[in-house]
Amino acid sequence: MQTHPVLRYTIGECSLGLLLVAVGERGICAILIDDAREALVADLQRRFRRAELRECPAAGNSRFEQVRRCVDDPSQTLAAPLELHGTPFQRKVWDALLAIPKGTTTNYAEIARRIGAPTSSRAVGAAIAANPLAVVVPCHRVLRSDGALSGYRWGVSRKRVLLEREARAATGDDAAPERAERGISRISLAGAADQE
């Protein structure tokens, strides 16, 4: 008998709309933002087709509260373990995103160079779009090469708000300890087969 992984998820409000936080066996595996509850659950089910989803209340949920604080206040750092599901290329891109300091931005071509795939800007863009951990894996810090805001899975207006908050919070802030604490060593790297 084949067993399906169980994901426990919580939906509640944050400053950017509705926030969904899902937890797997090894840590937080999805942080999604939307205005519609149904869209959040559908997105989670699409990302984890084989998983059994179980909703948990937001009240008293410490992991949900930790994530909400990080979304609402860029000075906060998430201490909970992360569980990323993706291909090796996606995980490499997401690792590069984790190295972008708060209050700064980069572009798709620079991420491609950092991961040793300088001609793969489009593939980098696709990997960034597949990021399951909004805000915590900071895909919002990636701009077009001309510095303009580009598409963001959770909406360009949310991206703008996040960047403005981080820019204000980073004034006089040393981001190095935060980067080290959220580095790849804290992430459980699950294979691409896990997401089907």
Looking at residue 63, what is its pLDDT? 93
Rounded-to-integer distance, Cα 63 and Cα 104, Å: 26
Arithmetic mean of pLDDT, 150-170 = 91
What Rg, from alpha-carbon coordinates, does the chain have?
Answer: 16
Which tens digit of pLDDT belongs to each residue from 94-107? 999 999 999 999 99
pLDDT of 66 > 90? The answer is yes
Domain boundaries, the chain: 87-177
Confidence of residue 58 (pLDDT cuts 50, 70, 90): confident
Q: Helix 88-98 crosses helix 121-129 at what angle (to 10 degrees)?
A: 80
Looking at residue 3, what is its pLDDT? 73
**When comparing pLDDT for 21 and 178, which is higher?**
21
DSSP 100: S
pTM, to two decimals? 0.83
Arithmetic mean of pLDDT, 12-41 = 97
User: What is the maximum alpha-carbon separation in the chain?
Assistant: 56
Looking at residue 9, what is its pLDDT? 97
Q: Residues near 125 by Cβ (< 8 Å), separated by ≥ 6?
A: 108
Rounded-to-integer distance, Cα 80 and Cα 27, Å: 7
Looking at residue 4, what is its pLDDT? 80
Residue 139 annotated in active site: yes
Q: Residues near 53 by Cβ (< 8 Å), separated by ≥ 6?
A: 7, 9, 22, 41, 44, 45
**When comparing pLDDT for 109 and 190, which is higher?**
109
Q: Where are the alpha helices (DSSP H) in the chain?
A: 37-47, 62-72, 88-98, 108-114, 121-129, 156-169, 176-181
pLDDT of 50 > 50? The answer is yes
CATH 1.20.140.70 fits 87-177, yes or no: no
Q: What percent of the chain has pLDDT over 70?
A: 86
Rounded-to-integer distance, Cα 124 and Cα 114, Å: 11
pLDDT of 59 > 50? The answer is yes
Say if CB 108 and CB 145 are below 8 A apart.
yes
Looking at residue 100, what is its pLDDT? 95
Arithmetic mean of pLDDT, 31-39 = 97
Tokens read off for 172: 């006089």
Looking at residue 1, what is its pLDDT? 52
- Of the candidates 14, 29, 70, 139, the residue annotated as catalytic is 139
